[in-house]
Chain A
């Protein structure tokens, strides 16, 4: 019997809004799916697409990026910069065959503990439906096998 698939999701969040939102979800004792590993960063503007690639390289089935709502950025406009970047990056991934469904973006404020819990649940369910990211994992496996020629 193989174990049922549990998606592995990496969330890159900004410390001022979404991380605080996650904290609120915790202190409010809200229950949500345990599939997400959070990486806290100062601002969404600091979240380089390289981080997302690294998560996939390390075997993530999905990636979530989340930060302050527009207008709420602690550094006034880090999230506006990030938004443009994601727009382009999503389109690039889509063109190369990495489903945008696996790379999600959201705004969650420090007050939105409930939204955080709901989002994690829905993202986890979405990725569960998509299944493991086998195509990418096959590439990872290939790097661990001896040369064939």
Chain B
């Protein structure tokens, strides 16, 4: 016997959560794009797509965020901080790869400097993931020690029943438990069959790749140039990535007043490492692509013991020139260490 949330009760759940002061988010699809957005009714959700075009990162680390307002006066500079919003939120129907992505970035944003914007949003949010019953050619969680039903980063994991009848509820954290207390009486006990999770074939052997990346001799390998020759240096892979977290701090304003903002930035851009002198330590696109791969699978795990990739495959799915992490690591796994 397991606890089940039946699909026809979802609307009620949403109403209860909303009544309890939670904003409910979930995967939403419009004519133009799918993303995680606020919803009001169960019918607003899109559970059909493999995963939303935009990652869950948008809800925790917006593309541009005002940090403070400054006013320059004759003898002083006044500043006024912008706090991150403190609404309580429940994100229903996150994909396990997106939830894992949040857990990966937790280690960075909670490291030596505590990023209050990230941490506050994380503390106010309950992540309810739904295990995937569908995958496409680009999904690669299984190659990264994750799976379509990984619970990393989730507060509650739901396993879909057959015929979209509902979900088996697995509470993982206190925060998840608390959120589901509000709807406890809408859950039922049952033993309905669980739908099989999506088959995501393993695309490369991660350990082989990591060993190759860790070998210093390979830093200058010709491989990097070959693999990234067609990279056009846009930032779309990094911006759609649930774990890419680089940002730039910009002052927007004039001599008298303005706003300091935290904006997404991308290691794919030539300007990312450009010095004022004109010297650019990552002068070529291949050096930038190498940085992206090295950071995700060598430097980041070296520091935090976890790869900075959760296998959503968005980088490959939308790349204008059909590149991506999958192709690169597949090739690396065939090279001599």
Contacts and interface: CB of A to CB of B under 8 A. Distances in A.
A55 B113 CA distance: 39
B62 A147 contact: yes
A76 interface: no
A2 interface: no
Contact of A146 (B58, B59, B85, B252): B85
Nearest to A148: B85
Interface residues of B, number: 13
Contacts of A147: 62, 64-66, 82, 84-85
B85 A144 contact: no
A143 interface: yes
Nearest to A146: B82
A146 B62 contact: no
Given A143-B252, A143-B259, A144-B259, A149 B66 contact: no
Contacts of B64: 147
Contacts of B82: 146-147
B83 interface: yes
Contacts of A144: 66, 69, 259
Contact of A149 (B58, B69, B83, B259): B58
A47 B161 CA distance: 64
Nearest to B64: A147
A146 to B, nearest CB: 4
A145 interface: yes
A143 B258 CA distance: 10
A144 B82 CA distance: 10
18 contacts: A143-B66, A143-B252, A143-B259, A144-B66, A144-B69, A146-B66, A146-B85, A147-B62, A147-B65, A147-B66, A147-B82, A147-B84, A147-B85, A148-B85, A149-B58, A149-B59, A149-B62, A149-B85
Given A143-B252, A146-B85, A147-B84, 20 more contacts: A143-B66, A143-B259, A144-B66, A144-B69, A144-B259, A145-B66, A146-B66, A146-B82, A146-B84, A147-B62, A147-B64, A147-B65, A147-B66, A147-B82, A147-B85, A148-B85, A149-B58, A149-B59, A149-B62, A149-B85
What 6 pairs between A and B have smallest CB-CB spacing?
Answer: A146-B82, A147-B65, A147-B62, A149-B59, A149-B62, A146-B66
Interface of A: 143-149
